[in-house]
Amino acid sequence: MRFSLSIAMNPLGQLAGLAQAAEEAGFSSVVLPDSLFYSEKVSADYPYTPDGSRFWDEETPWVDPLVATASMGAVTERIRFYTSVLKLGSRNPVLLARQVNSVAALTGGRFGLGLGIGWSPEEFEWCGAPYERRGKRFDEAIEVLRLILDGGMVEYHGEFFDFDKLRMSPTPPSRVPFYIGGHTEVALRRAARVADGWSSAMMTLDQLRETIGRLKTLLAEQGRAGDPFEYQAVCVDRFGLDGFREQAEAGVTDAITMPWVFEGLGFGAELGPKIDAIRKFGDEVIAKIEE
């Protein structure tokens, strides 16, 4: 079982220090969230809270995850970075491929691309992307990204995206893994079909156990039962060494966490106490999880 540090909604000036501390403490990855903007009004509910409300406000800091990866990658050596999840529905995949190519090259291949469609109609419409038929457009966008990132001279002629032969250089030093986010049956089927892993939002252990079981069934149906596949999870009701062992038994391969929360610290806390919490977590959980 691996551990990933979530840096969501933390002050931007702390990100480099958090990434360095996570690397020293034995974390495998840093997880980067994505939010394009805070609209005063939204015409859809946020899907991962009981009442559909957003748990952040217009003052909450969100940095572009690819820019943040380049920044943190420059001050670390081994730790990986992945988005959980980047909203692909409102983005052009050709332009995004250029950015992913660049950040994968700059970090020496230490980057994975977690993808979701996006839930806010305003993010689609105000970025010039149609909200209608977003699922099929998302599937095409994934195909475009995979095609370009795998390198060589390529072309694509689809319903939503169309281009003649092109090549982006440099090619990433290693294959960029794709992870799919989402809890719906459609999202799970998509992950089993095209992804290297699945990334959860906030879920209970029972929900994770059920969802991972479903994903394993879907992978088998795709002839992928023996393929490597990551289960990245934000579990909301199992913590501490025993709790993370329960997550591992449920099938979680990568636990996403914020150790300072266990110490009663908020997002706006000073960097020093957060680093202390990361080190404590490394000593008390990461170093002992496989004993």
Listed in sequence order, the residues at least 6 apart from 241 whose beta carbon sits closer than 8 Å to its beta carbon are 284, 285, 288, 289
pLDDT category of residue 68 using cuts at 50, 70 and 90: very high
Q: Which of 255, 226, 285 is closest to 84 using CA atoms?
A: 255
Give the pTM.
0.95
Q: In this structure, what is the dihedral angle of CA atoms 39, 111, 27, 218, given to the nearest 10 degrees?
A: 80
Q: Decide: 26 and 103 in contact? Cβ < 8 Å.
A: no
pLDDT in tens, 157-213: 999 999 999 999 998 899 999 999 999 999 999 999 999 999 999 999 999 999 999
Q: What is the mean pLDDT of the chain?
A: 96
Between the alpha carbon of residue 290 and those of residues 28, 30, 244, 279, 285, the distances in Å are 15, 21, 11, 18, 9
Neighbours of 94 (CB within 10 A): 16
Q: Decide: 124 and 118 in contact? Cβ < 8 Å.
A: yes
Give the separation between CA 145 and CA 96, rounded to whole angstroms: 8
